[in-house]
A and B are shown apart, each in its own frame.
Chain A
């Protein structure tokens, strides 16, 4: 575990992540170091299934703090992202207070009080009492530009203003990680506010380490040939290139089925674990599979 109160460096970050089961290289560790030191948000881009999201989840684990996740989607609005009033409760509250002697102003301030507020991820992230949480804003490229603009404001002051209540300022500035699959260009303004990291497919050595971390009982021979096949596949023109999560899916599939070596038959049977598009599966039938195995 990483203690922010004590002195730490990139190396201690690497080992803290390793403890919680995440293999990290020096580059990302350096950037995480900056994220923690400078309190700057980090934007991670990369192909799907490569460990962008799990960087954030493991950061929360390594810091032993809460992970607050905001999954972005098209049409995401502030009510889903920031806060909403609990309308049913408000209606009841109004009815209950109908006969009371309070003035309208008093009633209003009660109905728009903290009890009636439903916190959504962004508001939650700045009102955490104990210590700074990790705020994961996942797939920001799916959200609309308007939301991005709002986020920009939040990320610079870490405060949210609710018209009925006033401005709420962050008690602890959260550690923010944004991920993007590049399905839409993000604005330069947002990019400039963040540290940037392009997460690439892992090297064979790193991929081996990842597999061993997750499945220590795997046989070295199987792991080696599997990594070779996957790495080979990534150089081919596929619709959906297998990421690290596909590799792990495949390993778990092979382990569950009890296979100890890779051959054409095994590969064909388990192809659905790592190739997830019909066109790709078709293109990999027959000879192509033999070729893949030749390399391994």
Chain B
């Protein structure tokens, strides 16, 4: 469609409507209100000039900087044709390709929810009891037989949720004296003829604490990442301000994905995202990406940053230490959870870990359920 077609104002509304549908079909959200706004914009007459028309539509449709490239693309294709058919076809092909991808078992699918595991689940359930629960609490995630994964997952979910709820309910003692709420006090004093006999007080509003989690999902962490992911999800469901990321050779934001109840297909999706990230763990590099892209938004003196990783870094020496130092100066606490620490005789000698240690406030393990539950006190002060 060419812009010149739109000279006729009657047709314009329907062209705009087509554009909205076109954009929505390609995953660009445009609300009804925005659609109405577009019509209003059109009425101002701005629409008959090429550039202002583009600027105006962009200002109405985009609600975030990140949407601008996609909008530009859609705008160009729809209003100026060009490679329309070509790119639309490619679009379709890509979608089909994705849909037809053989559902391979990625790292995470094997863990927890492989096809054959259903059977394991069933079998395992029959042997649960108080004793086995206690045993499961202590078992290292990496040495867990496949068959018990489902049971442990269920147990873990329950316990973590309880823990998260406890954390949420915990009361804090307030520092300092309360302040008089003048407005309410005066209101009340009218009943007594204007003498403020009853003082009504107000308290300072609680400042929300923030939690940022960085989960290592590289090959060496494979055995742990599923459970740690579930743990992060549990935290995310009950804390208000949790941001989570996964990293191995690249950094990926997980917050959106984990906001809903994690279902099997999500895990598959995630594992397929992760699958092509083979290679070593570039912790320093990923922390660098984090610093560049997210740190100014997420880190503050109220943030607790938790890194879940074994600290086996393949980046050049010094990088991890440099990036972590940047983080540690900006946050309240940096916590490193290393599942290897749970192994008897473990010493943080790996270069990555040794480099990180001076910048950490807490260094703990997270290799089994029990150790994760022990984090409660740490989180309570987070």
Interface residues of A (CB under 8 A from B): 10, 26-27, 30-31, 33-34, 37-38, 40, 42, 45, 74-75, 77, 79, 84-85, 87, 90-91, 94-95, 97-98, 104, 107-108, 111, 144, 182-185, 188, 191-198, 237
Contact = CB atoms under 8 A, between A and B. Distances in A.
Contacts of A108: 190
A90 B186 contact: yes
Interface of B: 31, 33-34, 37, 40-41, 44, 46, 51-52, 55-56, 58-60, 62-65, 68, 182-183, 186, 189-190, 193-194, 196, 204-205, 207-208, 292, 296-297
B190 A26 contact: no
Contact of B56 (A34, A75, A184, A191): A34
Contacts of B63: 188, 191-192, 194, 196
B297 A184 contact: yes
B205 A198 contact: no
Given A195-B60, A196-B59, A237-B292, A34 B51 contact: no
Contacts of A91: 186, 194, 196
A12 to B, nearest CB: 13
Contact of A98 (B68, B193, B208, B297): B193
A15 B44 CA distance: 20
Given A33-B44, A34-B46, 15 more contacts: A30-B52, A33-B52, A75-B204, A75-B207, A87-B182, A91-B194, A94-B190, A94-B194, A107-B190, A111-B190, A144-B208, A182-B297, A183-B297, A196-B59, A198-B65
Contacts of A74: 207
B338 to A, nearest CB: 28
A10 to B, nearest CB: 6
A243 B131 CA distance: 63
Contacts of A104: 190
26 contacts: A30-B51, A30-B52, A30-B55, A30-B59, A33-B44, A37-B44, A38-B37, A42-B59, A75-B207, A77-B205, A79-B183, A84-B183, A85-B182, A87-B182, A90-B186, A91-B186, A94-B186, A94-B190, A144-B208, A182-B296, A185-B297, A192-B33, A192-B63, A195-B60, A196-B60, A196-B62
Contacts of A192: 31, 33-34, 63
A79 B37 CA distance: 33
A85 B292 CA distance: 45
A72 B37 CA distance: 28
Contacts of B52: 10, 26, 30, 33
A91 B34 CA distance: 49
The 7 closest A-B pairs by CB, nearest first: A94-B194, A191-B63, A30-B55, A87-B182, A195-B59, A198-B65, A30-B52
Contacts of A79: 183
**Contact residues of A: prevailing secondary structure:** helix
Given A27-B55, A91-B196, A183 B33 contact: no
A151 to B, nearest CB: 15
Contacts of B296: 182-183
B313 to A, nearest CB: 20
Given A30-B52, A94-B189, A40 B183 contact: no
Nearest to A95: B194
A79 B51 CA distance: 43
A30 B56 contact: yes
Contacts of B62: 196, 198
Contact of A85 (B31, B60, B64, B186): B186
